[in-house]
């Protein structure tokens, strides 16, 4: 039976206890998500057989899941920042103070958070497959194509949970249009540039915390390093106007 993969809904919620999966509902999916995928990256431990070239049945190792998706820079009618930002940035180590998100070099807890992320996907047979990861942390890349809607690509790694059959949720989605990368400045080294696009990569290093107390063999993800980078492709300029090599 083919799956109707276009009928997908992604939900996410900050965890009260690190690594303990939260119950997800329609309110946790009230943001526009593009191209959501959750996949298991389970490794199998092979076992050699005796008396011949055959192999014994492999044993599953640690259970890891990876969620990838995109969001555009869309407001959702909340009084402050949109819910997608308040949900996903803290799990990438970026914590809000006032209306500014700032990267923190600290373990998840009071400020930095972990997420439960679930994907509801139609299975083509009248029900829905529910895939979920817990204790998830991640990294992101902000893409700014000039004249077009800006978007963020997210990658979260967490502890894989056994898929279940559930009923598809029906969130209330935001209706505001996304922001375009236009009508402002692209300034670098005190010079205003014309660029085709710009990219800001958070550059987080995400590992999994091994723990034998869980069936998965892991308790949660963890950010251990960060190397943010900015990439642009500016319009060509004369040396007289701007000596980029000297700068």
Q: Model confidence over 37-70: pLDDT tens digits?
A: 999 998 888 999 998 889 999 998 889 999 999 9
Residue 202 pLDDT > 90: yes
How many of the other CB atoms lie within 10 Å of CB of 51? 5
The pLDDT of residue 17 is above 90: yes
pLDDT category of residue 35 using cuts at 50, 70 and 90: very high
CA-based torsion, 141, 142, 146, 148: positive or negative: positive
CB within 8 Å of 79: residues ≥ 6 apart? none
Give the single-character DSSP code of 53.
Answer: S
C-alpha 244/C-alpha 75 separation (Å) is 37
Q: How confident is the model at residue 89 (pLDDT cuts 50, 70, 90)?
A: very high
State phi, psi for 27 to the nearest 5 degrees: -65, -25
How many other β-carbons are positioned within 10 Å of the β-carbon of residue 209?
Answer: 15
Token pair of 179, please?
């922001």
Q: How confident is the model at residue 25 (pLDDT cuts 50, 70, 90)?
A: very high
Give the whole-angstrom CA distance, residue 164 versus residue 132.
9
Quick check: 132 and 112 in contact, CB under 8 A? no
Read off the pLDDT of residues 94-130 as tens digits, 9 standing for 90 and up.
999 999 999 999 999 999 999 999 999 987 766 899 9
* Lookup result for tokens 């209330």: 172
Q: What pLDDT, on a 0 to 100 scale, did the predictor assign at position 184?
A: 85
Q: For position 229, what pLDDT does the model report?
A: 96
Q: Is a pLDDT exceeding 70 seen at residue 3?
A: no
How much is the pLDDT for 192? 85
State mean pLDDT over 136-141.
98
Query: So where are the chain's domains?
Result: 8-42+58-234
Asked if 73 and 150 touch (Cβ cutoff 8 Å), the reply is: yes
**What are the φ/ψ torsions at residue 41 (nearest 5 degrees)?**
-115, 40
Q: Which residues contact 97 (CB under 8 A, 6 or more apart)?
A: none
Contact present, 131 and 65 (Cβ < 8 Å): yes
Q: pLDDT-derived band of residue 11, with 50, 70 and 90 as boundaries? A: very high
């Amino acid at each position: 039976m083919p799956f109707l993969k276009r009928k997908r809904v992604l939900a996410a919620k900050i965890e009260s206890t690190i690594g303990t999966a939260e119950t997800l509902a329609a309110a946790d999916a009230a943001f526009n998500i593009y191209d959501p995928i959750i996949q298991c990256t389970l490794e199998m431990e092979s076992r050699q057989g005796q008396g011949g070239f055959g192999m014994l049945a492999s044993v599953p190792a640690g259970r890891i899941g990876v969620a990838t998706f995109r969001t555009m820079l869309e407001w959702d009618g909340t009084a402050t920042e949109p819910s997608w930002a308040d949900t996903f940035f803290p799990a990438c180590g970026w914590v809000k103070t006032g209306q500014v998100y700032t990267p923190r070099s600290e373990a998840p807890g009071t400020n930095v958070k972990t997420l439960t992320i679930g994907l509801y996907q139609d299975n083509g047979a009248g029900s829905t497959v529910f895939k979920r990861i817990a204790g998830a942390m991640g990294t992101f890349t902000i893409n700014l194509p000039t004249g077009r809607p800006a978007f963020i690509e997210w990658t979260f790694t967490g502890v894989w949970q056994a898929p279940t059959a559930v009923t598809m949720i029906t969130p209330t989605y935001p209706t505001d249009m996304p922001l375009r990368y236009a009508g402002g400045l692209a300034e670098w080294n005190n010079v205003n540039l014309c660029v085709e696009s710009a990219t800001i990569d958070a550059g987080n290093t995400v590992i999994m915390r091994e723990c034998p107390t869980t069936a998965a063999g892991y308790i949660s993800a963890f950010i251990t390093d960060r190397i943010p980078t900015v990439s642009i492709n500016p319009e060509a300029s004369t040396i007289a106007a701007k000596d980029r090599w000297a700068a």
